Each structure stands twice: as C-alpha cells, then as structure tokens.
Amino acid sequence: MQLLYADEQGRMYDHGLGAVGRTGDRLVEIVEEDMLELPPGASLTLLPGSTPVGMDGRGDFKLLQRVPGGGGPALAVGALLPQGYTRTLLPGYRRRAGKPLPLLGYAAVAWRDGRVYVAATRTDEPDRWDPVHYNTADLPQLVQRRLARAPKNRILAQLAHCALEYSCYTAQNIFYTRWEGGLPMSPACNARCLGCISLQPAECCPSPQSRLTFKPTGSEAVEVALHHLLHAPEGIISFGQGCEGEPALAAGDIAPVIERVRQKTGRGTINMNSNGGYTRGVEKICRSGLDSLRVSLISARQQVYQAYYRPRDYRLADVARSISIARSRGVYVSLNLLVLPGLNDRDIEIEAMVKFITDNGVNKVQLRNLNIDPDFLFRFVPAAGEICGIDGLIEALRGIPGLELGNFSRPV
C-alpha cells in the first residue's frame, strides 16, 4: 500500500513511501486488511494545508513536504465515502494550526497496482443512496413542475433550494417522489454541535448549507407529507433535516401535522431525526402517531456527549429518557451514531455504548461517518481508553441480541 498524495492543482501522485492512516492522534501503518478498493460513489478530496505522512522501509514516519522533481507543496488526500460504508482510519497527515478543515468525512486512502484503496468497511446495502440515482438531468424540471403545482408552499421552496444547491438527497427524493423525503419544520435548536452542518460560528469551519429561517404552517407540511406518503414507493417522511434545528422544539406544530396526515392515510413511515434532549416534545410527537425516531449520539458517556453537543438545557440522561418513552409507545428507535476513528472505538466508549443500547431498548444503530476536522474535534472532546478500532466497535454492536446495524433509515 503506497502513499497517495496531490499537488496544489489536484493532480494525484503515488510515492515509494508506504501509506499511513490515523486513529485519534496516532499515526499507523496501513496494511491490506484495512483497505478495500474505492467503491462507486466515493470521491477523492484534498486536505488543504495538510502535509502527507508516509512510512519508509525502516518503519519510520516521514513528512512529504514537496512534490518530487521540483514541484510545489505536497498535499494530503482523503476519500469521501457514499452511504453504506463506514471508514476505519483517518488520513495520515500533519497540519499547521489554523482554520479547521471543511466539514467532510475524510477517510484514509492508498495506491496499489494502479488502483485506489480506502480504509473502510461495507456496513449496509448502498444502492438506494448511490449517487447515480441523484442529481439526474431531469431533476430541475421535476422541481419546477412540483413548485408550479404548489407555488405558495414555502417548505417546497426550501426543499427545492436544498435539492438543487446543496444536492441533499432527502430533499431530492421529495421531487423524485420516492423513498425517504425530508420535511424541515424547526428553525430553532437546543444544542450547539461542533459538527453542525447548518450553523457554525464565523471563526470556525463554514457550514455547507444554511438553516431554515421561517416557521412553516401546518397546511404547508401536511401538503408535502401527504403527497409523499400517498405516492412514493416505500415512502418515508422525515422531520429533522440538515437544514433545520431540533424538531422536538416544534412539537406543537409537528404533532398536529402527523395527526392530520394519519387521519387521511396509514401509508408509509413518519420518522423524526432528533437529538432527543427535549423529552416533553419527543413524547408529544410520539403520541401523535410517529412511527420511527432516530436519535443522534456520539458517545454514551456524559463528558464526551456534553463536549460535542454542547446542549443548552438538557443532559444525556434526558436523551435516554426520550428513547425509553418512545419505545414504550411502540416507536422504532435508531441511534444515528457519529463515528470517528480514535474516539468512539475505545474500550470504555464501546462498553458504555453497549450498556446504553441494551438499557434503553434501542432497535438499530445507524453508523454515520462524522464530518469534522479531527484536530478541531479533539481540541474540545476528550478521548480516553484503549483503541480497539472501528472493526472492534462494529463487532461489539453486532454482538447485542436483536440489534440491527446499518447506515440509514428504512420503512417501519
């Protein structure tokens, strides 16, 4: 496995140095068992301002400062994985302190026999989220046609923006009329996540999308939800999208929407993506007829949880209580587990997570590669315990009786 790197123009090169990955703050040699060939839908990306690290024949780590032969600065390269794959190592690089990397889920790469390999393991069937199904040539026409039928619906206008400008797949599915479609409702949030993709302080990494700026009406939401559930194959409507805050804070608006929709159809799945912190809101929405709840989690240890989510007025215990309430009402509960090599694959993290899952009756864990600069994250989030590796984390989760493991939501 050879080092793969790039110049400032994005041209890729391989090098005689061995490939190096990273877990937490530890550099490690990349071996064949760590890697699989770059899957369809994955893409390579530069890590700006990052110097690649390789390994020489004596096993010493070496910085590759410049492109050999008088070229300019050498830059580290990583891969962005499609849904269905979980990364097992971060890229090996060193970086000067400065502005954090863009909010992307960088995975280690290597070069061998004319092919690119990535540190990842397949953890779900990726077909439904394969990029080949999205951003098709007819998407703009589908968007315009749908907007023309409901020109005053501000939720559809928001979803059109997300579909065309941000390439959001759940937004696009609303216009393709299929599978899981997003329904943003809440502009407010009760957490300040380090890796929030819709709201970041100006001195940090820029958010890849903007947050909802208005409070939708119930009629707007019912119109979108009903159309999708009545016509979409294996339709799912999901509150709690990347372009909004915490949907449970809008329980007074969302619960009546669900009730009105369920008065007209029992088709499809109504889902909510939530941080689970506002228990009263979660309970109200569950009572209204919610089918499934996906709760974001990075750790089952309060210290780590608090450091990442920076909640305004709740604690991890409130999240556990929300899950227990949802399960008591027959709601199918998944964890959206934010995975970062060297953080939640440590022995004490795994032990706490297994206990949290079993104590609260969680049905499924959806592994999600955390989009964040690891150096930025570890400045705020403490990591403790022995690293077992992402494969160790996955093995422990698969050992929990009755627990499903994957990468995304399915109809309930």
pLDDT digits (tens, 9 = 90+) for 108-141: 999 999 999 999 999 999 888 888 999 999 999 9
How high is the pLDDT of residue 209?
A: 55
pLDDT value of residue 210: 65
- pTM here is 0.93
Q: Give the residue among 221, 195, 331 at the shortest CA–CA distance from 271.
A: 331
**Residue 366: pLDDT over 90:** yes
Q: How confident is the model at residue 214 (pLDDT cuts 50, 70, 90)?
A: confident
pLDDT at 206 over 90: no
Residue 158 has what pLDDT? 92
- Give the pLDDT mean for 49-59: 94
Largest interatomic CA distance in the chain: 70
- Residue 195: the pLDDT is 80
- The three-state DSSP-derived secondary structure of the chain is CEEEEECCCCCEEEEEEEEEEEECCEEEECCHHHEEECCCCCEEEEECCEEEEEECCCCCEEECCECCCCCCECEEEEEECCCCEEECCEECEEECCCCCCCCCCEECEEEECCEEEEEEEECCCCHHHCHHHCCCCCHHHHHHHHHHHCCCCHHHHHHHHHHHHCCCHHHHHHHHCCCEEECCCCCCCCCCCCCCCCCCCCCCCCCCCCCCCCCCCHHHHHHHHHHHHHHCCCCEEEECCCCCCCHHHHHHHHHHHHHHHHHHCCCCEEEEEECCCCHHHHHHHHHCCCCEEEEEECCCCHHHHHHHHCCCCCCHHHHHHHHHHHHHCCCEEEEEEEECCCCCCEHHHHHHHHHHHHHHCCCEEEEEECCCCHHHHHHHCCCCCCECCHHHHHHHHHCCCCCEEECCCCCC
Q: What is the mean pLDDT of residues 226-249?
A: 94
| 207 has a pLDDT exceeding 70 | no
- Percent of the chain clearing pLDDT 90 (strictly above): 82
Of 46-60, 162-176, 196-210, 242-256, the one with minimum mean pLDDT is: 196-210
Residue 197, pLDDT score: 63
- Mean predicted confidence (pLDDT) in 143-148: 97
Q: What is the domain partition of the chain in residue ranges? A: 2-122, 127-406
Residue 94 burial (CB count, 10 A)? 15
- Using an 8 Å Cβ cutoff, are 61 and 55 in contact? yes
Contact by Cβ (8 Å): 147, 157: yes
Mean per-residue pLDDT for 60-73? 88
pLDDT in the model for residue 202 = 45
Mean pLDDT of 62-66: 92
- The per-residue pLDDT for 211 is 63
CATH 2.170.120.12 for domain 127-406, yes or no, is no
**What number is the average pLDDT over the span 14-32?**
93
Q: Is 338's pLDDT higher than 80?
A: yes
Task: Give the pLDDT of residue 198.
Answer: 60
- Pairwise CA distance, residues 175 & 162, whole Å: 11
Q: Residue 62 pLDDT more than 50? A: yes
Helices 154-165 and 218-231, axial angle in degrees (round to 10): 60
What percentage of the chain reaches a pLDDT higher than 70?
Answer: 96
pLDDT exceeds 70 at position 331: yes
Closest of 313, 322, 278, 287 to residue 186, by C-alpha: 278
Strand partners, 292: 271, 332
Q: How confident is the model at residue 204 (pLDDT cuts 50, 70, 90)?
A: low
Per-residue pLDDT reduced to its tens digit, 147-189: 999 999 999 999 999 999 989 999 999 999 999 999 999 988 9
